[in-house]
Structure 1
């Protein structure tokens, strides 16, 4: 019997990765925590949201047993380390003790909880169906008149309702008046309620797109992992200026495909630097775009997870 199916347990959905498995030629069986033996035997791998598995440890253990009997791995995907969704220590410790996962696929390799005997780097990526040049060309973006804004940021800035975004909200509240004082045109806004067409326009029509913090940074230690916008902005042809992340060096060439900053003053200095060097900024944007499309799509991430599962099976 061929292994033509991926069990995909993401209760709220993760459409980019689901589509990516389908693009790799697999059927997707969604939210199967107790698969029938026939489904388990057809399973190439089960890919689950780590935090759903942590919330239902008995189901995770049961799924692992069914899969192990069929020779299929259970892979947990973590996109929120080291904050771990703010889960209680007891939940995390119990899950680590139970060890139902065969492979822990995480967006950061920094020291944190270890949930499986095999740990792999599985960064965020770009959903190319939604993030692309949208009918424009990189050549068009070589014209300074193409741009409406000098600097932009669209994202969650509701720090009162979402405590994990409070530091980001403070940062941009402090940044706005300093940009005004420098005469820099900016579009910095909470993204809720802004339609996708407008968001695409702002990203593509901004000479510099900023990225600062993510929910996974809450609680102390900053994540080494890159937020999705670090792939999505380049995919749309935008120039990205991001807070420094250790894994940036793993996903981009820091000398030709990446621009980073360390703090508020450095951010402002880099904004001025790249506004004064338009061609250099576009060189970086174009190189980052090519790298993302080549190496950082969800189709590639799905293939990587399948490959890790096949390597696990060979090592049994």
Structure 2
């Protein structure tokens, strides 16, 4: 199958997943002739492009659908889609997309045009490397108790203010308990440095998500929630509704409610080495089996094929 990608920037995760599955891709812009002439089986739009250029999208979507080419989009931002959020129900009701894939089902019915398609582990960048699970079972392997790597610039990115405030308060609690920690801005780290931090940390935190908006927490898991287990790390995440869809709580993931709960669980899991590693290894296996971008593209392309078959049956 050939997928046309309508994105402003390269989508390496999608490219690599399609290549792994034996499919092809091409990038297209707003030119209908280019998109139709590409020979693509479907066009996958960047969701933000649809919201920002709705008139262009309306025209192109109609041309594509008339040509029998399914139109899909993958939203990884709910509920943080800005002032244009009101356009989403109209988009779905008008039938301008055949497949609305989303990392979060909040406010949306699953089924019909809506496809639950969460983030995943980007294995080309987040993997075990030369470190084995046996290495990670050694209590002496670790150099830090608790770590976080992500965007912590709340001045430029106000949506991360809760995260930075949380980490500041948590740091004070950890210092008082003699627990070592490293909280890093991942934008200034190489992938190799991030993986090294994950694998040398007893506990890796997930707090906040770029998809959170104005106190409204996204149901979806951030990509790090899959990347950390892919590297063999132990994940302690803030509660997310879809966390229980992706993992078995207490066996593959541990989640916390508020900062007091987070601190209590840090105190417990820094000492419970064997239990911590069992959970981490369970999550590692689950991620490699189910939560990769190749598996996500399989699910998306299956939905594309279903749309094509339904259209064929109506001819």
Instruction: Tell me the TM-score normalized by structure 2.
Output: 0.92
The question of 1:254 aligning with 2:280 is answered no
The question of 1:209 aligning with 2:211 is answered no
Correspondence list, 1:1-316, <5 A: 4-36=1-33, 39=36, 42-84=39-81, 86-89=82-85, 92=88, 95=91, 99-111=95-107, 118-316=113-311
Indicate the SS of the match to 2:211.
helix
CA distance in 1 between counterparts of 2:6 and 2:51 reads 12
CA distance in 2 between counterparts of 1:157 and 1:208 reads 18
Structure 2: runs of 5 or more not aligned = none
CA distance in 2 between counterparts of 1:12 and 1:21 reads 17
1:23-82 CA-partner distances (Å, limit 9, x unpaired): 222221113332437845832221111111111112222222232233221111100001
CA distance in 2 between counterparts of 1:91 and 1:20 reads 30
The answer on whether the counterparts of 1:157 and 1:168 sit within 8 Å (CA) in structure 2 is yes
Offset, 1:93: 6.5
1:76-100 CA-partner distances (Å, limit 9, x unpaired): 110000111x233565576456542
Taking a change above 3 Å as real, the CA distance of residues 58 and 15 of structure 1, as seen in their structure-2 partners, is same
Indicate the SS of the match to 2:132.
coil
**More divergent stretch after superposition (299-308 vs 196-205):** 196-205
Instruction: Tell me the TM-score normalized by structure 1.
Output: 0.92
CA distance in 2 between counterparts of 1:38 and 1:266 reads 51
1:208-230 CA-partner distances (Å, limit 9, x unpaired): 00000112112232111100000
The answer on whether the counterparts of 2:149 and 2:185 sit within 8 Å (CA) in structure 1 is yes
Alignment root-mean-square deviation, CA:
2.1
CA distance in 1 between counterparts of 2:167 and 2:250 reads 27
1:95-132 CA-partner distances (Å, limit 9, x unpaired): 456542111100011115x8x95101000001111111
Aligned length: 311
Offset, 1:13: 2.4
Indicate the SS of the match to 1:87.
helix
CA distance in 2 between counterparts of 1:76 and 1:196 reads 27
Taking a change above 3 Å as real, the CA distance of residues 76 and 190 of structure 1, as seen in their structure-2 partners, is same
CA distance in 1 between counterparts of 2:21 and 2:67 reads 22
The answer on whether the counterparts of 1:72 and 1:309 sit within 8 Å (CA) in structure 2 is no
Offset, 1:198: 2.0
Indicate the SS of the match to 1:189.
strand
**More divergent stretch after superposition (99-108 vs 34-43):** 34-43
Offset, 1:281: 0.5
